[in-house]
Structure formats: structure tokens, C-alpha cells
Structure 1
Amino acid sequence: MTLLSHGRYCDEIIGQADALCALLDGAGPGALGRRVPTCPDWDAEQLVRHVGEVLCWVRHIVEERAREGVSVRDVPGAQGPEDPRELTAWLARSARLVAGALREAGPDVPVWSWAWEATTGFWARRMCHEVVIHRADAVFSQRAGDAPPSAYGYRLDPAVAADTLDEWLRIVEFAVAAEGAPRPPAGVGGTLHLHATDVADAEWLIEIGGQDFRWRRAHARADTAVRAPLTALLLASVRRLPVQGPEFEVIGDRPLLDFWLDTARFG
């Protein structure tokens, strides 16, 4: 596993936020009021406010070199503008400000985080992927019928998609270490292989059902295999797409896959 460069993460924060905003700005009146089916408690306005709030919060952590947790309620400007018509411009500006703060700091400055690494580099990667996934949520809020996310401009560079899935598995690993592995039903357990069909060497092997959670990049036989294009594989892993339809091929034990999708989560 090779991380992207710090500068690339900063570039992606801006680029992914711009794409999210362009999608909503181009969707016409009512776009912000549409429900987000992948985040069912939110409409698109709440989604934008959440993403902007998190970006403002991380910018504050980085600029203040915070070594303890900070409540987002104490971060000036994190609530965004009252007028919904100003929200996408605020989100785009927030992305540029946090990317600028991260660039100025570099990747190695110690700052507070909730995770396994407490550096500005951690936050650059985390914010890149935060916007990547919520951009997909924005697509799902606007799409009609069964149109694929790619029809709405949701296309990820393979390096970004693979790194987003790597980080997601690392987050699940962190959660399991803190909370314990979920107990599978009787007879469910084994290995799961995720195999991207459109990108070379984008394969993951996950061990499910033990006391710990283990995963690695690997080409290997497993009890269950899921084959799909990389972006679809990522969206399925973070429960944005169901594993069904012509993009997906499932080989082997479906209950093992269903258990993984039901329990791989954080928070």
C-alpha cells in the first residue's frame, strides 16, 4: 500500500469539493431539498452543511495546531451561511482554506486526531476521502432511476479510489481494535476477496469472523470473491451501492459478504 502525496490529497480536497458543488449548482432549483438516499436522515442541503462543517473544523485543528479535541460548535464559521443559495460557494471556499492550511503545515505536524495517527498528514488524507464519499452521496441525491453514478460525473482516478478503500479498511481495523470484532452468525466466517476488474493490482483479502480484523492487499483464493470495477467496489464497501446488477460478480459464500457489509462500520 502506497499513500498519495500530501500535495495530491490537498489537490483532491479542492477538486472533489468543486465537482460536488458543480453537480448541485447544475441540478437546478430544488437540488438542495432532495433527499440523500445513502444518508437517509439528510437532504442535500444538510449534506453540504456537514461537509463544509467538517472542513472548517479540520482547518481550525490544523491552523491552531490543536493537541486536544475541539468541538465543532466552537469553530467560527463552521455552521455556514443561513442562505442556502450561498452554500456551495461556502463549501468550495472551505475546501480551499483547509487545503491551504494543510499545504502550509506539511504532512508531519503533530495535531489532535481521533485515530491511529495524530498528524496533519492524517487529516489531509481523511478530508480527501471524506469529500470523495460525500460527493457520491450528492450524486445519489440527484440521480434519477437506476442511472449509474458515472452518468453524473462520478469518476474517480484509480489511485484515489484504491487509497479511499485502503483507508476505509484501516478505519474498520481501528474500530474493531477499540470495540471488538462483531460476532458472526453460526457458520459464517472466512475470507473475502475484493477484486477490481478494471485496474491492475487493486485487490484486497479480508479475514472475517476471528477475534481481530485483518486485511491486506493480495491476489488470493477466498471463500467469497466480489469482482467489480474499482469505483463500484469502493461504493459497495462503504454501503453506497448494493452488490447486485451487471457490474458485480459474487463467487462463493454470499452470507459472508452480507455479514461484512452489515458490520464493517465506524461509530
Structure 2
Amino acid sequence: MNAPELSVVCRSCGEEVSPYVTECPYCGTRLRKRAPKLERRGDELQAQESRRDRKRRERAERRDRMAQYRTDVGEGERPYAVIIAILAPAMLVLVQRAADLPVSDLGAIVEPVGDEWWRYLAAPFVYPDVPYLFVCALGIAIFGSAVERRLGMIPTLVLMVAAGALGMLAADGIETAIGAESELLLAAGGNGVALGLLAAWAVLKAAELRAGLDEHAEVIGAAVCAAVLILLPLVEDFANVFAGLSGGLVGALCGYAASLARRERNPG
């Protein structure tokens, strides 16, 4: 059996003493009326905790886990993947405006893609106007930074490309299947990327709450952001509703897979 931990501080002399003694061995001050009851925990005998002490210890352990978790996710690191996902489209908007190019030349989808598969990868990062870019960039900055702190730069980049490209693929397939031949297919911009990051963050945050690594989540703020992104097609022709919803689904699946992987790495 291991030696007992010195965890009681004498109020008279300030020395740490065993929790199992009734008098301080250094100054003789009486610490308690009687020796504490002992209970076996694993291979050790420890003082039996009162309900109040147990709750206090559990709260302290939870605070320690939360502090360690915040350190592990690296809150101070710069979100380089998010910076790339915002600056690259902003530069494309400047080029498009300066050269007076149609957005279709940069990769926007304006008709069934056919064999131009590269448009699936390019379209999520091509914006026809600045307001659309601003709204999506705001969502990407908020939720992308939170996701990148948890997963890292490369997984976040992969998630954004997957949510955007698969969203455009779904938009092309669904619009082609249900739309009339005379209707124009329009799909571009990062509404699918932003919704994918939001969904991934929501799944990861829910896993953290269940594991006791966090205490609260900004549910109302996240719901407002989700509503704005989902309703973007009402005011922006290139914000395809199927691309947005499909991107959100991809992000949720990626977030769920990441939460399972993190739980297996850190079962405690």
C-alpha cells in the first residue's frame, strides 16, 4: 500500500500533514475530533469523503480536465486553413472585378458540369459579389477557427474541400435530375463550406459537453448563423440550397468521425 498523500494543511503552523491524523505532528494543534473513516479505493486505503468533499473534488477535477483540454486544442494558434479559405476567394473576387471576367471562367457552375469535374473543386471558392463573400467568410471564420483548433490545419482543409466539392456535386446532380432543361443551374460560393464547418463544430461541441470538457455552448448564436446560411439562396442566386445542405451533412459526418477518433485516443 502506498504512503498516504499529505493533503491537509495545519491552520496553526501551515505544514502539510497526513489526512489520517487528529493532531499536527509539528506543533501539536488539534486538527479534528476523531480520525477519519477509511475506505478502500483500488489498492489504497483513503479517508472516506463526505458528499460535500466529493462534489468539491469532482468539480476541481473537472476544471483541471477543461483547462488541460483548452491547452491541448491550442487556442492561441493561428487558424491558417481558415485564413487561406478566406483570402484566396477574396483575391479571386479582386481579379474577377479587375479583369471584368464572368464568374464561370473562374469555376462557377452555370450549367450541368458534364466532364468539367474541376468545377466541383473550384466553385465553392468563387464568389460573384462581395456581400456573398462577406457572409460566408464570417461563418467560416467563426466556426472554422473553432474546428481548426480541435482538428488541426490539414484535417480542416480536407473538411472544407470535401464539404464544398461534395455540396457542388450534389447540387449539380439534384438540379439536373429535377430541374427543367430551360432553367439555368447556378452554384458557386462557400455556403456549403460554412455550413459544413458549423455542423462539424456542433458535433464536436456536443461530444465535449458529454465528456465534461466544456460547460456551455452558444446555441442561440449558432442557430442564428445556421439560419442565415441556409436562407442565403433567397437573396443570392449562386448560393445553391442543395450545395449548402449537402455541405452541412458532410461536415456533420466528418465531425462525428473526428469525435470518435478523439475519444479512442483519449478514452479518459
For the criterion TM > 0.5, the same-fold answer is: no
**TM bracket (short chain):** under 0.3
Structure with the higher helix share, 1 or 2: 2
TM-score when normalising by structure 1? 0.27
Rg bigger for which structure?
2
TM-score when normalising by structure 2? 0.27
Structure with the higher strand share, 1 or 2: 1
